[in-house]
Amino acid sequence: MVDVDDCGASANGFGMTCNGFGGQPPATLAEFTLGGWGGSDYYDLSNVDGNSTSMTIRPISGQYTVVNNPSLGKYNCDTVSCLKYLVQWR
């Protein structure tokens, strides 16, 4: 657990603070919405502000209910991940 205004800087030696609003770009973000539209919970990874680290969100088997909606396909309680380096420049 880290302090709200710390973003892990002191615990991990990252040397950056975020004033409680998020990390300094580039920053990979894990986003969670609990009790969103229709009471559903959502999660995703965002690279809108850049990409700073590899990240994976994996649901714990048996701890969630799959929604009966075939149009969701792989987006129905599945693992999401993103590599640290999306593009390698030469």
**Taking 60 as the threshold, does the pLDDT of residue 2 lie above it?**
no
3-state secondary structure of 37: helix
Q: Where are the domains of the chain?
A: 24-82
Q: Is pTM beyond 0.75 here? A: no
- Please write the tens of the pLDDT for every residue from 53-77: 888 888 888 887 777 777 777 667 7
What's residue 20's pLDDT? 55
Q: How far is it, in rounded angstroms, from Cα 26 to Cα 51?
A: 5
The pLDDT confidence band at residue 1, using thresholds 50, 70 and 90, is very low
In DSSP notation, 1-29 reads ---TTTTTHHHHT-----TTS-PPSS--E
